[in-house]
Amino acid sequence: MLSAQLPSGENSVPPLRVIDLTKWYGEDRAIDGVTFSASAGEVVGIIGPNGAGKTTLLETLVGLLPADAGDVLWHGEPLPASERRNALFYLPDGVRPYRDDATFQVVSFFADVYRRSAAEIADTIASVGLRLVLHKRVHALSKGYNRRLLLALALLAPHPVLLMDEPFDGFDLRQTREVVDVLRNQAAQGRTFILAVHQLVDAERVCDRLILLAAGQVRGSGTLDELRTQASLPAGSLEDIFLALT
Amino acid sequence: MRSPKTYGWRAAPLWPLLAKELREITNGRALWTMLLLLCPLVGYSFFQAVSLYGEASTAALQSPVLANSLSPLDGILVPTLGSFYVAVTLLFPFVAIRALGQEKETGALRLLVQLPYRPSTLVSAKLAAVLGAWSLASIPALSALILWRILGGHVAAVETANLLFGHMVYGLLVGALALFSASIADSASTAAIIALAVTIGSWVLDFTVAGNPGLLSWIAQLSLTQTLRPFEQGLLSGGRVLGAACVIFGLIALTTVWLPPGVPPLGKLRRSLPWVLIVALMLGAAAQVRLTFDVTEDRRNSFPAVDQKLLATLPLPLLVTVHLAPEDPRYADLQRNVLAKLERAMPTVSVALARPRQGFSGGSSDEAYGEVEYVYGNRSDISRSTSPREILPLLYALAGVSLPAPTPGSEYSGYPLVASADAALFWFFGGLPLLIVLCWWWIRRPPSNSLAYKGGTS
């Protein structure tokens, strides 16, 4: 089993470290000793085929699922599951929250909970392109706009680390590029993103570092160049590396 | 980078959560459907109650003695609110389940539990929204009370407030049960089945097992319906209110345990056990509370005021031994007319049921059967009466005090009223449903205040 390498050349302790995280579903090991870290302002992509354990990893990491073993450290200190929601915010896949509310009501709810100013709310709405559907009820939103709404909710959360499950699902190429820009802008301000992505092209486009997950185990990690070295494919695409390592 | 402590639960305001919970319930069809169904239910009950009350009043207007028994509490309020009770039992679980079931089904619960609120705060906000929904659902019943006043009927404030309070406690019980059902079930439909199984089950329990002796009688006491009974009799029972509060607290505590997703059921069961024990202990303590107030205007649950005052001054404990089977109707009469009133009036009253001896044929062979022995200090007497007119003089004789002089003019004169509630039918079958539909439409209309955010930078 391979563990994701810590970013090389870092002097400071990375804000988030995950060590040997393991989760069992009955007899099946859903995630198996996953170790990785994430630095401030970094976009880390967890890529893997369906059933690789990406969602379980994220949900275990934020404490929505109980881990069977492993530690999560925050600035070098153990971060208990009950306190992870103070540092990490997780955006699940396939959620259509508060279907009968208008879009702006859902946005307002999250903004009010986190005491966001009107300017911050307006910025967030503009950045994810939600303005045209604010009056619409959530159940009437298209898949893409629902995804934008979820993205807005995550961006309104003030947490330093955002975890997102399939954040580009439902977006076309142009929209994906827009969202990538939004995430990169946020990362440039020091926010860390951990994204579970199954579209390799999207992952390659947005992520600083990649963690290849298969059958719950880390099969490779690092930048694209580091992964090429690990896979002995000097000119290989992420797809080639993925197939070679998983 | 900020410390994770920055986003602790203390930082989050409560009002957005409360507003969201209330919106969640009012956005659903269940509440409005229940309101629409309540209109004819409450309306017809009210119409019938007014008609029957009017018939009884016609005779009472000619004979003042008959008027004594005409109390709007029994004649109008209890039957009208009885239909509200039926609706709360059968329909309110569907309304309350939505407060949690919808979030479970759409996955929004996984977002909600990450917000900076304790699970207990989340569940309490949901219960507050359920209480808000109950308040809305009570509008048809409240409008019936207003109509009764318009028709010229009398409403005694304290007994009416007590009855409404009882219905609110019952509504909260059903609401808390529905929330707990939603927390343990995967879907709203399963939660509804669980909640209805309990509410209808306890309803059935109430009228099939009640009145039976021993264990069956104890089981009947567990029925949710029993919560409402003292309030309908015009009693404010401290023990019953505390008991209901304990059950509501227990259900909310259990909902809090079962709310977070991801915890294995076995772990949740393990965490539930201490709460079950705590609530059982609290219920045991609440059962010991004997404090009860008779809030009726006609003081039906009390002796006349002069007797109440005198009985309260008797210092020694009164021991009562009843030679009657619990299922004997005479025991029910004695309990209602004498024993329950004595327990509320005197400082210490102990009642014991003497087990009657059984004959060969299976019937009672006890010659003392039917007797009730009263022991006060070192004096005792026996009576077979179930009437306070005979028992009170007996007790005063035992205590060595003279009979108090009755206060003239203190008797309840009753409130006979012959009125027609035909016009009320137009309200309950036309006006009120129309108003409800309009409110529903107003709440469901496309929201327009999204403009506030349109001026942001783009």
pLDDT tens profile B264-316: 888 899 999 999 999 999 999 998 888 889 999 988 898 888 899 899 999 89
Distances (CA, A) of B54 to B132, B411, B419: 35, 22, 6
Q: Which residues contact B169 (CB under 8 A, 6 or more apart)?
A: B227, B231, B241, B244, B245, B248
Chain A nearest CA to B176, separation (Å): 21
Q: What is the mean pLDDT of chain B?
A: 88
Contact flag A113-B5 (C-beta cutoff 8 Å): no
Res B225: pLDDT:
82
Percent share of chain B, pLDDT over 90: 59
Contact flag B8-A125 (C-beta cutoff 8 Å): no
Tell me: pLDDT of A46 over 90: yes
Res B263: pLDDT:
80
Does B362 contact A at CB distance below 8 Å?
A: no
- Residues A213 and A121 both lie in one domain: no
Does B115 contact A at CB distance below 8 Å?
A: yes
- A100 contacts in B (CB within 8 Å)? 24, 27-28
- Residues A22 and A130 both lie in one domain: no
Res A224: pLDDT:
87
pLDDT band at B66 (very low <50, low <70, confident <90, very high): confident
- B455 contacts in A (CB within 8 Å)? 122
pLDDT band at A85 (very low <50, low <70, confident <90, very high): confident
Find, in chain A, the residue whose alpha carbon is nearest to that of B458. Answer: A126
- Residues A199 and A101 both lie in one domain: no
Among A86, A96, A113, beta carbon nearest to B16: A113
Does A135 contact B at CB distance below 8 Å?
A: yes
Range of the domain at A147: 95-158
CA B405 to chain centre: 37
pLDDT tens profile B14-26: 999 999 999 999 9
Distances (CA, A) of B260 to A101, A106, B16, B19, B265: 23, 21, 20, 21, 11
Q: Note whether ipTM > 0.85 here.
A: yes
Tell me: pLDDT of A11 over 50: no
Whose structure tokens read 């208990």? A80
Contact flag A134-B454 (C-beta cutoff 8 Å): yes
Tell me: pLDDT of B455 over 70: no
Chain B nearest CA to A123, separation (Å): 6
- Residues A5 and A19 both lie in one domain: yes
Contact flag A158-B2 (C-beta cutoff 8 Å): yes
Chain A nearest CA to B442, separation (Å): 14
- Which residues of chain B from 8 to 47 reach within 8 Å of chain A, CB to CB? 8, 11-13, 15-17, 19-20, 23-24, 27-28
- B4 contacts in A (CB within 8 Å)? 74, 79, 83-84, 86-87, 160
Res B364: pLDDT:
54
- A139 contacts in B (CB within 8 Å)? none
Contact flag A160-B1 (C-beta cutoff 8 Å): yes
Contact flag A104-B447 (C-beta cutoff 8 Å): yes
Does A114 contact B at CB distance below 8 Å?
A: yes
- Residues A125 and A232 both lie in one domain: no
Res B254: pLDDT:
97
Please report how the helices B188-209 and B214-221 are oriented relative to each other, as an axis angle in degrees rounded to 10: 140
Chain A nearest CA to B198, separation (Å): 28
The long-range contacts involving B47-50, CB below 8 angstroms and separated by at least 24 positions, are B47/B421, B47/B422, B47/B424, B47/B425, B47/B428, B48/B79, B49/B75, B49/B76, B49/B79, B49/B80, B50/B76, B50/B148, B50/B151, B50/B153, B50/B419, B50/B420, B50/B421, B50/B424
Tell me: pLDDT of A1 over 50: no
Tell me: pLDDT of A62 over 90: yes
- Which residues of chain A from 61 to 100 reach within 8 Å of chain B, CB to CB? 62-66, 74, 79, 83-87, 89-92, 94-100
Res B214: pLDDT:
65
Res B213: pLDDT:
62
Res B411: pLDDT:
76
Contact flag B448-A134 (C-beta cutoff 8 Å): no
Find, in chain B, the residue whose alpha carbon is nearest to that of A118. Answer: B453
Res B262: pLDDT:
74
Comparing CA positions, the residue from B410, B392, B390, B388 lying closest to residue B401 is B392
Contact flag B23-A105 (C-beta cutoff 8 Å): yes
Tell me: pLDDT of A52 over 80: yes
Contact flag B262-A64 (C-beta cutoff 8 Å): yes
Contact flag A131-B4 (C-beta cutoff 8 Å): no
Q: What is the mean pLDDT of chain A?
A: 88
Tell me: pLDDT of A3 over 80: no
Give me the number of domains chain A comprises. Answer: 2
Of A133, A158, A183, which one is at a domain's C-terminal end? A158
**CATH architecture, range B305-399:** 3-Layer(aba) Sandwich (3.40)
Res A9: pLDDT:
41
- B15 contacts in A (CB within 8 Å)? 112
Res B436: pLDDT:
97
- Residues A177 and A215 both lie in one domain: yes
Query: Where in chain B are the domains?
Result: 13-294+414-444, 305-399
pLDDT tens profile B156-198: 999 999 999 999 999 999 999 999 999 999 899 999 999 999 9
CB burial readout B273-301, b (16+ within 10 A) else e:
eebeeebeebbeebeeeeebebbbbbbbb
pLDDT tens profile B393-450: 999 999 888 888 877 766 778 898 999 899 999 999 999 999 999 999 998 887 665 5
Chain B nearest CA to A180, separation (Å): 16
Chain B nearest CA to A103, separation (Å): 9
3-class SS of residue A45: strand
- A95 contacts in B (CB within 8 Å)? 106-108, 110-111
Whichever domain contains A169, its CATH number is 3.40.50.300
Q: Is B37 left (phi over 0), alpha (psi -120 to 50) or beta?
A: alpha
CB burial readout A31-66, b (16+ within 10 A) else e:
bbbbbbbbbbbbbbbbbbeeebbbbbbbbbbbbbbe
- Residues A148 and A169 both lie in one domain: no
Res B448: pLDDT:
67
- Residues A78 and A186 both lie in one domain: yes
Mutant choice from A37, A86, A120, A155 vs B, greatest count of B C-beta within 10 A: A86
pLDDT band at B356 (very low <50, low <70, confident <90, very high): low
pLDDT tens profile B31-48: 999 999 999 999 999 999
Contact flag A87-B7 (C-beta cutoff 8 Å): yes
pLDDT band at B3 (very low <50, low <70, confident <90, very high): very low
- Residues A138 and A108 both lie in one domain: yes
Beta-bridge partners for A221:
A211
Chain A nearest CA to B142, separation (Å): 29
Contact flag B262-A59 (C-beta cutoff 8 Å): yes
pLDDT band at B65 (very low <50, low <70, confident <90, very high): confident
- pTM for the model: 0.87
pLDDT band at A7 (very low <50, low <70, confident <90, very high): very low
Chain B nearest CA to A140, separation (Å): 11
3-class SS of residue B333: helix
pLDDT band at A210 (very low <50, low <70, confident <90, very high): very high
Mutant choice from B102, B263, B445, B453 vs A, greatest count of A C-beta within 10 A: B453
Contact flag B453-A105 (C-beta cutoff 8 Å): no
Does B266 contact A at CB distance below 8 Å?
A: no
Tell me: pLDDT of B95 over 90: yes
- Residues A190 and A240 both lie in one domain: yes
Instruction: Give dist(CA B53, CA B142) in Å, integer.
Output: 19
Cβ atoms A218, A1 nearer than 8 A: yes
- B5 contacts in A (CB within 8 Å)? 86
Tell me: pLDDT of B389 over 50: yes
- Residues A73 and A175 both lie in one domain: yes
pLDDT tens profile B221-266: 778 888 898 999 999 999 999 999 999 999 999 999 999 887 888 8
Res B403: pLDDT:
86
Comparing CA positions, the residue from A117, A127, A149, A123 lying closest to residue A136 is A149
* Range name among A233-242, B246-255, B331-340, B434-443 with the lowest pLDDT average: A233-242
Q: Which residues contact B177 (CB under 8 A, 6 or more apart)?
A: B93, B195, B198, B199, B224, B251
- Residues A27 and A69 both lie in one domain: yes
Instruction: Please provide residue B316's backbone torsions phi and psi, each rounded to the nearest 5 degrees.
Output: -80, 155
Chain B nearest CA to A218, separation (Å): 23
